[in-house]
Structure 1
Amino acid sequence: MTAKLVITGASKAFPGVQALDDVSLTLEAGSIHALLGENGAGKSTLIKIITGVHRPDSGTVLLDGEPMQFFGPHDALAHGISAVHQERNLIPRFSVAENIMLERLPTRAGLVDYGEVREAARRFMAPLGLEIDPDIPVRNLSVARMQLVEIAKALSLDARLLVLDEPTASITPHETETLFRLLRELRDKGVAILFVSHKLDEVFELCDSVTVLRDGRNACASRSLNGLDRSDVVRLMIGRDETAVRRTERTATGEPVLALRDVATDLGHRNIDLEVRAGEIVGLYGLVGAGRTELAKAVIGAAKVTSGEVQVGGRSARIDSVATALSRYRIGYVSEDRKHEGLILMHSVRRNVAVTVWRRIARALGWLPDRAERDAVTPYIERLQVRTPSLAQPVSLLSGGNQQKVSVAKWLAAQVRVLIVDEPTVGIDIQTKVYLHELIHELAASGTAILLISSDMPEMISLADRIVVMADFEVVGELDNTRDAADMSEAIMARIHKVAEVA
């Protein structure tokens, strides 16, 4: 059974914010429709109206010509609408299989049939190439695999209208190719698919039509992608042409600020050698499961180094916690998982940024004057152009791009000498992505040593001075970056595939 969705004149306001203003969208059965816009443009609010999380203040929602008022996500689900949200909606302590089949657990004699739960989960994991034990708790998975579990869960619901919000943000190009094949198959069966992505190459590869939002209004409503190119879409999204990153060529000299010498960890790393000098951007590239994020966590004391040596400033460093990494060695870490590790969502913008400088600004007996926090935080909020009504705004109410800026701002305030940046632009808009790329270049130019982890090959080639390639928790190669995208991509993947062939 197919579905056609028509939204006309939808508006939605929150205290101090007009999130949507007279927005329209038509999603045809058997089509893949892109929903585009900068962070804060209103995409998430529109998705939440479609999936029953919010009800519009005005406007109409028609499903197959019938007016709809959804009273919650389960109501939308009952009408065949399923979603993969950018903020993962999984239960960490439940198994992979339980999360995938949660909405319709098979039973036998009134009890959950866990054998069937596992088998059913495997059926929905298989098309995605997700070969993991279905009994593993979700909390033990990488961010990328959590994303694939979320997609498998949505596929299990046999939705006739599927909403995908940044589904490829954390997965590899190979996994993306597999997902796109599945989406085309669903489209050909008549499923209506709403696809949200900041990766315009994906949009043009996959989608038939597009709706663009800007500042909560339609910049264009439900038009064919035929006849549009990247520059047209960017102009609709941001109101002007895209600006290229201004790259500053640097030559890093001197002793390494951060060095790993024959490091092994309790997570499985072996024989890791790596150096980052002041003013240098060193990239860590590898496929999902290569051990890049895990290595970063070992450097900052969130995992144990079992042998070898970590050196900071040429001296042996004993880092047993994130607090030690910051206070004693001035190492900061921008987490790939900003919502669970990088930020405290219920706290204000001011508190999230100031947390790294509390020790520096505290008065007697640990007293933290509000003014001292504001004075410490404001320059960095202004520098990163964080869009927030006030410093008191809870971070949870900011857009994804502005949350990422807050996550970066706290480390700028701390004035770290080494900054590890893990997937800096996942799920953020083009303008913010360009801005963060420029900021990373500026930080390096000012002498900060930067270790960059990214699964976005063009981003890696654009930013890094040297690229260290990892596979199976080992370093398998190191390359000086020539900036030639084709040559660098081929050289990087050759090192990864060579390891796979040996294995």
Structure 2
Amino acid sequence: MTVTPVFEAINIEKRFPGVKALDGVSLSLMPGSIHALLGENGAGKSTLIKVITGVHRPTSGQLLVNGQDAQFSSTRDAVAKGIGVVHQERNLIPRFSIAENIHLEQTTRHALKPIDYAELNRSARRWLDALEFDIDPATPVMDLSVAQMQLVEIAKALSLQSRVLLLDEPTASLTSNETKTLFAVLRRLRDNGVSLVFVSHKLEEVLEICDRVTVLRDGVNACQSQSLKGLGRQDLVRFMIGRNESAGGWQKRDTSTNPVALELKDVSTAIGHSNVDLTVRKGEILGLYGLIGAGRSELAKSIMGRIPVTNGEVLIDGQVARISSVGDAIHRYGLGYVSEDRKTEGLLLPHSVLANAGIVVWKRLSGLFGSLSDAKIRKAVVPFLERLEVKTPSLAQTVGNLSGGNQQKISVAKWLAAGIKVLIIDEPSVGIDIKTKAYLHDLLRELANNGTAVIVITSDMPEMVALADRIVVMDNYEVQGALENDGVYERMSEAIMNLIHKVKPEPVSATA
């Protein structure tokens, strides 16, 4: 018996001015399956998702829903055909309740009709129950964890009767336990007949959760709707980049005698940190690990002058630093911060690639008389853009028109070009492909080898163990202890979790 695909994209071509983003791409989704969509940044994944969900109309090719021709002029056309999407960057209104967010599409259709909040909450409860998410639907979204927001996004899609659900990097900001919870939800949806598209750069997760795979490379199919049975990690890597993955991995580096670049002494902050002691030496890569809500990013923002330090001292090169603004941190003390939230904190989306990559070097390059040219900026930033393989039609391209992965590369490249003393990098590999991740790790090691102190904040424990010389563990806005990294994942991951859950002897100092 032949099963009709629930959705098909056939020979899709999509052209933009000067760019052919998709060239004859096909994809076939079966009912009750979890289908991986893989590819490097710029391979065409985001464009294909936008075609499937009605954001873009294909230049040529055909879309079929349950075997019938479908043409989408808008996202609402796709929703009407049962196609939903959960984006990597969440599209929720923080001050609205869970129920209001889930039913936002329905409530905005009748702007003059009073909202029955009791009915809204009852209806939302139905979709939350389907996900086994036990929470009051009246809870404001701003009070949720990242993982809980992800579940609200899925409930929102299900409330629109989605039978095809696309998930773009759904585990990017989740811990391992939260990922397990999400996977249990996805399996229940699959068993209820929903067809899921799972977009991820984490190949171990793809092999765990998915049953079929489509791989794009440079806008064409490297693999089209193939069973994952019999395929391993290296097979997927070959599809994605045309060769096997480079070895890479943790490297033993001794920085214990290097001068201290940054030190926190008994630091408390306006947002709740207390008695934080921490050092990072020149040339050291210090990992900062903790579960979501541990206060890692907030500590970084306090160091950068965005959140007030209420007690204790911040020392740069052994001298007390008076950091009252981000400008002070960058220009007076040589600190840099790559935010995990690139859209609101890391980049100026309406501006060009060159402007974004060069913004932190303008002051240094302008010289005594304020003379600054594009040629000077290009000379400073292009080597790093090329090293990270930023895919853009030109340096004049608006950053907001690039893929999320390429945006992340630019937010990293600007600080690499800045020549700062201490680089804090928050969730460095969110949304970037495996080849770029390897390049980025090599660049961070190169920076450290040249004397830069690097602090890496990541929820990706394998990345933490692969990069850090030393790992400081945080929980509840406090330092729980520090570990010398030996590169053995099984041993280090157990030691990290023991510190978080306090299955440990007395905490050791984070000061080396």
2:245 equivalent among 236, 242, 252? 242
| Cα shift readout 1:393-450 (whole Å, capped 9, x = no counterpart) | 1112223332222111111221100000100001211111111111111111111101
> Judging changes above 3 Å, is the alpha-carbon distance between structure 1 residues 280 and 148 closer, same or farther for their aligned structure 2 residues?
farther
The whole-number CA distance in structure 2 between the counterparts of 1:209 and 1:149 is: 26
Q: Which residue of 2 aligns with 1:14?
A: 16
**Partner residue in 2 for 1:112:** 115
Deviation at 1:311, TM superposition (A): 1.0
**Equivalent in the alignment of 2:408:** 404
Distance 1:475 1:128, change over 3 A: farther
Shift of 1:74: 1.0
- Matched with 2:419 is 415
Given the alignment, which residue of 385, 388, 391 partners 1:387? 391
Q: For 2:411 and 2:335, how far apart are their aligned partners in 1?
A: 14
The answer to whether the 8 A contact 1:471-1:499 is kept is: no
Aligned residue in 1 for 2:357: 353
**Is it true that 1:83 corresponds to 2:79 in the alignment?**
no
Q: 1:415-454 maps to which residues of 2 (within 5 A)?
A: 415-454=419-458
CA-to-aligned-CA distance 1:116-167 (integer Å, 9 cap, x gap) = 43454455456475858844354x7665554444334223333111111111
CA RMSD of aligned residues (A): 2.4
Alignment partner of 2:180 out of 177, 184, 187: 177
Aligned to 2:57: 55
Q: Aligned ranges for residues 141-152 of structure 1 at < 5 Å?
A: 146-152=149-155
Matched, 1:45 2:47: yes
CA distance 1:443–1:131, change in 2 (3 Å): farther
Q: Aligned equivalents of 1:130 and 1:484: distance in 2? A: 37
Unpaired stretches in structure 2, ≥5 consecutive residues? 505-512
How far did 1:254 drift?
Answer: 3.3
Q: Residue type of the partner of 1:198?
A: H
TM-score by length of 2: 0.92
1:324-346 C-alpha deviation (Å, 9 max, x unpaired): 11001100001111122111111
In the other structure, the counterpart of 2:166 is 163
- Find the counterpart in structure 1 of residue 313 from structure 2: 309
- 1:214 to partner: Cα distance: 0.6
Report how many residues are paired: 498
The one-letter amino acid paired with 1:240 is: R
Pairing 1:99-498 to 2, within 5 Å after superposition: 99-105=101-107, 110-118=113-121, 120-121=123-124, 124-125=127-128, 127=131, 134-136=138-140, 138=142, 146-245=149-248, 247-252=250-255, 253-362=257-366, 366=370, 368-498=372-502
Q: 1:74 to 1:3 in 2, by over 3 A?
A: farther
How much has 1:50 moved relative to structure 2? 0.8
Asked if 1:34 corresponds to 2:17, the answer is: no
* CA displacement at 1:19 relative to structure 2: 0.6
One-letter amino acid matched to 1:225: L
Tell me what 1:72 maps to.
74
Aligned-partner residue type, residue 452 of structure 1: V
Q: Please identify, of 414-423 and 356-365, the stretch whose mean Cα deviation from structure 2 is larger.
A: 356-365
Structure 1 spans left out of the alignment, 5+ residues: none
Q: 2:408 aligns to what SS in structure 1?
A: helix
CA distance in 2, matches of 1:226, 1:428: 25
SS at match of 1:180: helix
Q: Do the aligned partners of residues 313 and 130 (structure 1) sit closer, same or farther apart at CA in structure 2, a change above 3 Å counting?
A: farther
Q: Answer whether contact 1:128 1:179 (CA < 8 A) is retained.
A: no
Write the distance in 1 (CA, Å) between the matches of 2:399 and 2:470: 34
Moved more, 246-255 or 336-345: 246-255
In structure 2, C-alpha distance between the alignment counterparts of 1:96 and 1:156, rounded to whole Å: 12
Stretch deviating more after TM superposition (142-151 or 426-435): 142-151
d(CA) in 2 for partners of 1:41, 1:436: 19
Contact 1:282 1:465 in 2 (8 A): yes
Please say which of residues 401-410 and 14-23 is displaced more in the overlay.
Answer: 401-410
2:388–2:436 contact (8 Å) kept in structure 1: no
- Indicate conservation of the 8 Å contact 2:263/2:316, yes or no: yes
Q: Does the C-alpha gap of structure 1 residues 364 and 197 become closer, same or farther in structure 2, counting only changes over 3 Å?
A: same
CA positional deviation for 1:105: 3.6
Distance 1:347 1:232, change over 3 A: same
- In the alignment, is the contact (CA less than 8 A) between 1:244 and 1:434 conserved in 2? no
Q: For the residues of structure 2 that align with 1:134 and 1:294, how far apart are their CA atoms? A: 27
Shift of residue 94 of structure 1? Answer: 3.7
Q: Does the 8 Å contact 1:128/1:152 carry over to 2?
A: no
In 2, the alpha carbon distance for the partners of 1:153 and 1:416 equals: 43
Q: Is the 8 A contact 2:285 2:456 kept in 1?
A: yes
Contact preservation (8 Å) 1:3, 1:191: no
Instruction: Give the whole-Å Cα distance in 2 for the aligned partners of 1:486 and 1:351.
Output: 43
CA–CA distance in structure 1, aligned partners of residues 132 and 461 of structure 2? 21
- The share of aligned pairs that are identical, in percent, is 60
Q: CA deviation at 1:231?
A: 0.7
Which amino acid in structure 2 is aligned with residue 265 of structure 1? Answer: T
> Do 2:214 and 2:226's aligned partners in 1 also have CA atoms closer than 8 Å?
yes
Assess, with a 3 A threshold, how the Cα gap between structure 1 residues 132 and 476 changes in structure 2: closer, same or farther: farther
- Of residues 104-113 and 306-315 in structure 1, the stretch that sits farther from structure 2 once superposed is 104-113
Q: CA deviation at 1:100?
A: 2.4
Q: Give the Å deviation of 1:22.
A: 0.5
User: 2 CA distance for matches of 1:118 and 1:368?
Assistant: 57
Amino acid at match of 1:80: G
Q: State whether residues 147 and 171 of structure 1, in contact with CA within 8 Å, keep that contact through their aligned partners in structure 2.
A: no
What is the letter of the counterpart of residue 64 of structure 2? L
